[in-house]
């Protein structure tokens, strides 16, 4: 038997913090439209949005 663990290897940047946000249906529709257009998931779209806002504020 192998002593290695099975499964996904540990991440270099684990995403362990959870944020819950209330949105209306219009915002949810826009978020889902972005996920389809970018072929990604809601979390990635939100992360990219936060990064973009942060970068804009640093200018």
The answer to whether residue 10 is domain-embedded is: no
pLDDT for 45: 98
pLDDT for 2: 61
Which tokens belong to 19?
Answer: 């944020």
Sequence-distant (≥ 6) Cβ neighbours of residue 44 within 8 angstroms: 35, 38
pTM of the model: 0.78
Around 8, how many Cα atoms within 13 Å sit in the side-chain half-sphere?
4
Closest to 29 (Cα-Cα) out of 47, 45, 52: 45
Coil vs helix vs strand at 45: helix
The answer to whether residue 5 is domain-embedded is: no
Q: Which domain holds residue 43?
A: 25-58
The answer to whether residue 46 is domain-embedded is: yes
The answer to whether residue 48 is domain-embedded is: yes
pLDDT digits (tens, 9 = 90+) for 1-53: 567 778 888 888 888 899 999 999 999 999 999 999 999 999 999 999 999 99
Number of domain units in the chain: 1
pLDDT for 7: 86
pLDDT for 36: 98
The answer to whether residue 2 is domain-embedded is: no
Sequence-distant (≥ 6) Cβ neighbours of residue 45 within 8 angstroms: 31, 34, 35, 38
């Amino acid at each position: 038997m192998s002593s290695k663990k099975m499964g996904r290897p540990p991440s270099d940047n684990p995403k362990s913090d959870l944020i819950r946000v209330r949105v209306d249906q219009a915002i949810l529709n826009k978020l889902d439209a972005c996920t389809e257009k970018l072929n990604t998931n809601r979390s990635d779209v939100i992360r990219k949005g936060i990064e973009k806002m942060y970068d804009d504020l640093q200018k």
